[in-house]
Structure 1
Amino acid sequence: MDDRPENLTVLEALLGPHGHQLVSATSGPEALRALMEPDGYAAILLDVQMPGMDGYETAAHIRSRARTRDIPIVFVTAIGSDSDHAMRAYAAGAADFIPKPVDPWAVRAKVASFVELHRERRSRG
């Protein structure tokens, strides 16, 4: 989820060719609506700085729902990973951070790891 279409386009270009299906949202409420669909999400890439409902608040809503509380959230952020932001993100349920501008290799590697974990969980359960 990102409020800037160009950032969503970058993520689609990085992940789509590798077989990852992305569901885009440009706001917290839109992301929460998308997560109501019975899709098997492997991970959520979430921007911190959003108008209205920021990434921290969106993450808290995601964590409060039984259906979505176990989906790993990766914050994609331009505000850095200093201790205040890190503490707030992890308190909201973050599994990891990716700083902007994104490193294509890091994005693909992290998403691939979460997809593999998701597949393993589904095959066991």
Structure 2
Amino acid sequence: MTSAAPEKSSILIVDDMEENLVALQAVLGPLEQQLVTVRSGEEALKAMLRQDFALVLLDVLMPGMDGFETANNIKRLDQTKDVPIILLTGTDVDRDYAYRGYALGAADFLAKPIDPWVLRTKVNVFLDLDRKNRQLAVQAEQLRRLLVAEHASPGADPQTAAVGAEQLAQITEQLDRIEAMLRSQETSEGPELADYIAELERSIRRLETG
């Protein structure tokens, strides 16, 4: 089964200082992804409700709604709670900032000035996860369409349709397991994930040849 090439991922950059936004755009520009910049926590939440993002780069020290409050609000919304957040802050900060960030569900924490190579490397990890998740979503949709075409037509055999529905349920469960593992940095490259993907591929082949 072939999939369409995934579109570019979107990265949200949140910082109240224009010069910091410009610098981060310059660092991430070579990744050739869609970069969206906003200058407050309120604007960040509005942007995340308008479109999907693979990652949020979030400055901690902002006036009004600071980075911690913004991160907390992001994690409280069903629509945005799974979006990874990298918190950014200056060098003269309390050591507890990192612990606060991780407690709120942040994926990483970087202090300024930020090494461009380190930032691009970390961002690439989350972009890869986003691409994998979107590819799985495309495959799931193709499988649903395949079932509709082959098993849900007006003259379809009821028993065949039931088998197709059962196969779809199994594949959906496998996709859910793989997506959960992809979101776990500890297991995203492990042998268990490879086993699940191989199992999914076998299920797809059975569906296509059944």
Structure 2-normalised TM-score?
0.56
1:75 aligns with 2:124: no
Aligned sequence identity (%): 50
2:44 is the counterpart of 1:31? yes
Aligned match of 1:85 in 68, 73, 97?
97
1:118 aligned partner, one-letter code: D
Q: What is the aligned counterpart of 1:15 among 4, 15, 28?
A: 28
After TM superposition, give the deviation of residue 80 of structure 1 in Å.
4.6
Aligned residues: 123
- Cα drift, residue 17 of structure 1: 2.5
Query: Which aligned segments of 4 or more residues in structure 1 are displaced greater than 3 angstroms?
Result: none
Preserved contact between residue 81 and residue 97 of structure 1 (Cα < 8 Å)? no
Change (3 A) 1:81 1:98: farther
TM-score, structure 1 length as denominator?
0.93
- Deviations along 1:24-81, one digit per CA (max 9) or x if unpaired, are 0100001111111133x11100000000001000000000111110010000111457
1:35 and 1:109 mapped to 2: Cα distance? 23
Q: Which runs of 5+ in 2 are unaligned?
A: 1-13, 138-210
* Paired residues for 1:31-70 under 5 Å: 31-39=44-52, 41-70=53-82
Q: Which has the larger radius of gyration?
A: 2
Greater per-residue helix proportion: 2
Q: Larger relative contact order (C-alpha < 8 A, sep ≥ 6)?
A: 1
